[in-house]
Amino acid sequence: MKMKRKDIRNIAIIAHVDHGKTTLVDQLLKQSGVFRVNQEVQERVMDSNDIERERGITILSKNTAVFYKDTKINIIDTPGHADFGGEVERVLKMVNGVVLVVDAYEGPMPQTKFVLQKALELDLPVIVCVNKIDRPEARPGEVIDETLELMMDLDASDKQLDCPFIFASARAGFAKKELDDPEVDMSPLFEAIVNSIPAPEGDPEAPVQVLISTIDYNEFIGRIGIGKIDNGGLRVNQECVLVNHHDPDKFKKIKIGKLYEFDGLKRVEVQEASIGAIVAISGIADIHIGDTICSAEKPEAIPFQKISEPTIAMYFMVNDSPLAGQEGRFITSRHLRDRLFRELNTDVSLRVEETDSADCFKVSGRGELHLSVLIENMRREGFEFAVSKAEVLYRYDERNRKLEPMELAYVDVPEEYTGVVIQKLTSRKGSLQGMSQAAGGYSRLEFSIPSRGLIGYRGDFLTDTKGNGILNTIFDGYAEYKGDLFYRQTGSLIAFEAGEAITYGLFNAQERGALFIGPGTRVYAGMVVGQSPKAEDIEINVCKTKKLTNTRSSSADEALKLTPPRIMSLEQCLDFIDTDELLEVTPESLRIRKKILDPTLRKRASFKK
């Protein structure tokens, strides 16, 4: 006998990156009384790890819960970046509806389309929240029309199209039903959630069924499975079994160790929970995303869509440069292996494979950002290692044709830069699909381009558009191989000997190209110290000192003027390195180097090519 749990609502907040999901969740937490009146609260309190806070992006979906009157609202904040799309697809299985946040100026963007499509496919009702209506250039009326057009394009049902629209400013902390309503608080949004998102339903008397949609990991407790109870109830010490829809052979007896529900930002231990509740379960060592916890009498797995396959791979290897082991705490292949396999506990879109060499691992993910976040996390934890250039993962069809991953790239740029962007992207095998006017004197270009054509492009893009362009990409399936690509038109400046870079040597070297290092930097033979404007690599001696003679001249001894070096971020280094180079990553330094350090062996290898 199915019944509804009237006192619970389960929602996910979905949106394009930067449209204000996390700030909105902050306000819902504040206004539902989760924090004490005088409590100091960080902004974007849901973005809990350092990288999320620094970059202002959400990487992992987060669970929280607030109370409005006598209804508990479980909220899941999801990432907006395409690289973390695997997170969004899964958490939507836990909820009964979504709040789609759309920027009142930008309107629906590529990622809005991606996350909305996932929600509509699962037949979830939608509340559209037009956020940032206090922006001076906001255009809420047009944004509503664009959103409805997008929903029609995505074949939304009549019921889904008849959705409530709420106007809000998450930063100022108000929401309203009509544009001319007074700006008070968030209650219109709370009311819309309670009234138009259906309560979860299930059969409380049936055997238990819980689909695990997210995995959390804690050093002390181990793996924690998070999911919604679809049928029956769960209690501590209950004997259950684990089954999986995509793995019919899986059948494992387990016992529920500890059971938690969410309250604000805390997990609260409970003894039992029933249908509709989102729970966290610890004490099961071998629990994975997509597993169903059910009773032994009636083991029935809940269907679950397969997690999207990775499209890009990098090799992570033990650092073997002459400066290896001097800055990191974890440097051996065992450290590296344990850490990479540990990442699989929480990141489902990642793959780690061992290679012929014990010191090298192939790591595949959803995109450059996905892998660069892992690299940044590892270097902060004290790891030292080297990575190769990102390469795409090819497939072959039944006629043995080579297929490669494709992306749709949406580019918003001021009109004067459209020429250079079109020229660069077409040279990278992109084809222009459409061009339209966007708001504020910007043009919107839409390209279909191979994923490898975008590797290393973001740096060029920012330079070409003087930082004014916005580039969004979304995975668009596999298509036939588009032909060979040259990643970099310029060569590298390579250090000729080991030592410390000296002003005199750098002064002579800077005429040959742009330098990445300043005086006092330690270098070794084969290390890349700059970019050459020509296509070939040039070896230079940056440790060269001035020969001392007995003659003095007043002009020659005046101070040598050095151009400031180009300091590159992790992303810029990953973009810059070529296929015959590696990036040496330590907690303190990022060094680009040639794979083969010895110049003679390097020349031989290039001739063989």
User: What is the tens place of the pLDDT at every residue in 520-546?
Assistant: 899 999 999 999 988 889 999 988 887
Same domain, 551 and 510: yes
Domain that holds residue 427: 396-480
Sign, CA torsion 19/25/28/30? negative
Tell me the CATH number at 558. 2.40.50.250
N-to-C CA span, the chain? 70
Of all residues in the chain, the percent with pLDDT exceeding 70 is: 89
pLDDT (average), residues 425-443: 84
Angstrom distance (rounded) from CA 255 to CA 242: 10
Final residue of a structural domain among 147, 165, 199: 199
Q: Are 435 and 568 found together in one domain?
A: no
**One domain for residues 84 and 175:** yes
Q: Are residues 225 and 345 in the same domain?
A: no
Residue 23 among known ligand-binding residues: yes
Q: Is residue 547 a known part of a binding site?
A: no
Which two structure tokens, joined as six digits, stand for 382?
């004290």
Q: Is 133 annotated as a binding residue?
A: yes
H or E segment and range at residue 22? helix 21-31
Q: Has residue 88 got a pLDDT over 80?
A: no
Tell me: do 59 and 114 sit in the same domain: yes
Residues 368 and 320 in one domain: yes
Same domain, 531 and 503: yes
pLDDT at 359 over 80: yes
Which residue, chain included where needed, has tokens 């079109």?
Answer: 422
Segment among 15-29, 228-242, 248-262, 441-455 with least mean pLDDT: 15-29
Which amino acid, residue 29? L
Residues 278 and 225 both lie in one domain: yes
Same domain, 571 and 593: yes
Ligand-binding annotation for 377, yes or no, is no
CATH label of the domain that carries residue 225: 2.40.30.10
Residues 546 and 413 in one domain: no
Does 305 reside within a domain?
Answer: no
134 marked as part of a ligand binding site: yes
The answer to whether the annotation marks 131 as part of a ligand binding site is yes
Handedness of CA 167, 169, 174, 180 (dihedral sign): negative
pLDDT band at 23 (very low <50, low <70, confident <90, very high): confident
Measured between alpha carbons, how far is 607 from 603 in angstroms, rounded to an integer? 6
Task: Tell me the whole-structure pTM to 2 decimals.
Answer: 0.76
58 is in an annotated binding site: no
CA pseudo-torsion sign 227, 231, 234, 238: negative
DSSP code for 7: T
